[in-house]
A and B are shown apart, each in its own frame.
Chain A
Amino acid sequence: MGTQTGISGKQADLSGWGRFPRLTGRLTRIRSLDALRKALGPHPVIARGNGRSYGDSAVQVQGTLDMRGMAHMLSFDDSTGVLVAQAGVLLGDVIDSFLPRGWFPPVTPGTKFVTLGGMLAADVHGKNHLRDGSIRQHVDWIEVLGPDGQIHRASASENPELFDWTLGGMGLTGVILRCALRLRRVETGYIRQSLHVAGNLDRAIEVFEVATSRYAVAWFDCLGQGAALGRSVVMLGDHAEPEDLEPAQRAAPYDIPRRRPLRMPVDAPGFALNRHTLRAFNAVYYRAQARKAGESLVDWDRYFYPLDTVLGWNRIYGGRGFAQYQVVIPLASARAGLTELLGAISDAGAGSFLAVLKRLGPEAGPISFPMEGYTLALDFPVSDAVLALLTRLDAITAAHGGRAYLAKDSRMTAETFHKTDPRAARFAAYRDGIGARGVFASAQSERVTL
């Protein structure tokens, strides 16, 4: 027993949250810097957090490093909100620990079950990208174990190239060990939400373009056709102030009613999800949301993480798994691009429980996903027909100057990737320059040739 040199660990089934593709490879739990150093070379490795990227970003058949064993919070400055923590810390634990003291993550993805390391590697964005940027704008510094086995500290001023390429670099520059993250001061654990029903895509875009709230997201009925194409509910939100709360809530403004988690115990049978059940679900959901139009107070957990309450919801798509498809279309061609994308999806009769539209602000990092425009995210149960549809969507995205989000991707070809994201060549060159290419690689980076 025990670790000698090279990679130890066990053979394990490896996949992302979408459970597609499924690979088998060596998984090593990393609990110390020593163990991590021993795991580097001669085979390529990739760090993995809580496995919430959808495809194969955090899968390496030759050596996947489970970093959740390095999960200490190390310091917190109550005057600035700066938390220093190891990369394996879960975002949900940050909220549990610091919301009661009045602090909230400055940017959050749609699940709290992500590690800080995973958030930084994907340079995640939230419903506030237009206003606050992606997570990189809130990181003071990071520490990265490079391909040389040394720890490098990087920030906007120290090793700025490493900082730039690591945020959004999908673990391909090294293993993120620690970070200093600036949390946001909030006065309550609630969000003041206003719902706007948009009968079609143009209306939805109008709501986004005039919104002044911190958070904005639209949920789509992606089976809407013709004049109802893009029928959606736009949800705007701001952190509530104490005076927004009921008197009883004001006494404990950070306490929210706890939700009892449900668990999806088994894979749903394949027939449970088809165009008819989806159409019914989408229509019912749309009407239910539309009825609630107007202002309301929603607690942080329901507002930011509505799906987290169903543990293992990824099994709803059945045994073959699902593919999440998220692309951004630049502002100038957003309307045309989104119309074409939604039209192609609607024509194919393929739908998803979750079709989400967000407005993104300007591009910040050299390999980060966001750019000024609109981002559409959908998921589909994997089938040959769906994979063919996604290839058509790739072509539409490319034609409108858009690009895909690596944290969601599970099937894009190298050709599509390099065509839609010409920054890839510079990233590959940077990786070569620091000697990262043979040391850090994921199934995804091999697939898209990074």
Chain B
Amino acid sequence: MNRRVTILGARSDIAMACAHAFAAAGDDLTLCARQSETLAEAAQDLELRHGGSVTLRELDVLDVDPQAFADDGDLPDVVICAVGVLGDQLLDQDNAAAIRSVLRANFEAPAALLSAYATAMEDRGSGVIVGISSVAGDRGRATNYVYGSAKAGFTAFLSGMRNRLAKTGVHVITVKPGFVDTRMTEDMDLPGALTAQPAEVGAAVLKAVERRQDVIYVRGVWRLIMGLIRLIPERIFKKLSL
């Protein structure tokens, strides 16, 4: 296909799975992360497996001028934002600095960066913006509402951008992976049937870009689960442990 695909927060397992999916489809990649030189072997691996070119670019999402970053170099055809941290709900919930840092990494920084790309793509009149959000943003729960509220904000931000850009030729995709078997979730006991492999996420994102889908859940069952969870009346929901 030979699109130019930029991946923000390229170190994560989901980002790497996206990189493999798009590289296998014939695209050239720019992988952006902190200490990007440590991704050199991953970049060689992508080039050897799939052909195509892979470029590394330094990005510290909490310490970057988003517009300058988006405007530096060729504007990609597709930008995928996989920036985020899970945090630790119990440690974070009573700690203002920790809350702020989870909100920044999962909402503020991704929103600012994708906004910068949106502006440039709108000027050009084409492009695809992909935000990796989370089912955790569909309803706040006691067990992960710091992370969840940041993702809820990001989901709303993506939805608004999609609405704004709908008539410009720029397409915005919201990805809600559900449970994924990654480093982020390594210490959790996840139910097998609800848990996707990173490669499934990569394939789903590629498909969403090619079919210009709007909001995707990687495993369809999550759309049902979260639909039901959203339907529970608050006076009942607040007493549940989910």
Contacts and interface: CB of A to CB of B under 8 A. Distances in A.
Name the residue among A29, A31, A73, A75 with the largest chain B CB count within 10 angstroms.
Answer: A73
B183 interface: yes
Contacts of A75: 44, 48
A1 B91 CA distance: 12
B41 A1 contact: no
A73 B186 contact: no
Which bucket holds chain B's interface residue count? 10 to 19
A74 B44 contact: yes
Contact of A73 (B44, B88, B183, B187): B44
A72 interface: yes
Interface string A1-20: 11000000010000000000
B65 interface: no
A76 interface: yes
B41 A97 contact: no
Contacts of B48: 73-76, 97
A100 B172 CA distance: 35
A97 B52 CA distance: 12
B207 interface: no
B187 A72 contact: no
A93 interface: yes
B212 interface: no
Contacts of A76: 48
B45 A29 contact: no
A1 B45 contact: no
Nearest to B183: A31
A215 to B, nearest CB: 27
Interface in A51-104: 71-76, 93, 96-97
Interface in B187-241: 187, 189
Interface string B32-63: 00000000011011001110000000000000
A74 B49 CA distance: 10
A74 B45 contact: yes
B186 A72 contact: no
Nearest to A83: B48
B174 to A, nearest CB: 27
A63 to B, nearest CB: 16
B41 A72 contact: yes
Contacts of A97: 48-50
A260 to B, nearest CB: 16
Contacts of A74: 41, 44-45, 48
Interface in B143-193: 183, 186-187, 189
Contacts of A72: 41-42, 44-45
Contacts of B49: 73, 93, 96-97
Nearest to B43: A72
> What 4 pairs between A and B have smallest CB-CB spacing?
A72-B45, A73-B48, A1-B187, A72-B41
15 contacts: A1-B88, A1-B186, A1-B187, A2-B187, A10-B187, A29-B186, A31-B183, A71-B45, A72-B44, A74-B45, A74-B48, A75-B48, A93-B49, A97-B48, A97-B49
Given A72-B44, A74-B48, 12 more contacts: A1-B88, A1-B187, A29-B186, A31-B183, A71-B45, A72-B42, A72-B45, A73-B45, A75-B48, A96-B49, A97-B49, A97-B50
Interface of A: 1-2, 10, 29, 31, 71-76, 93, 96-97
Interface of B: 41-42, 44-45, 48-50, 88, 183, 186-187, 189
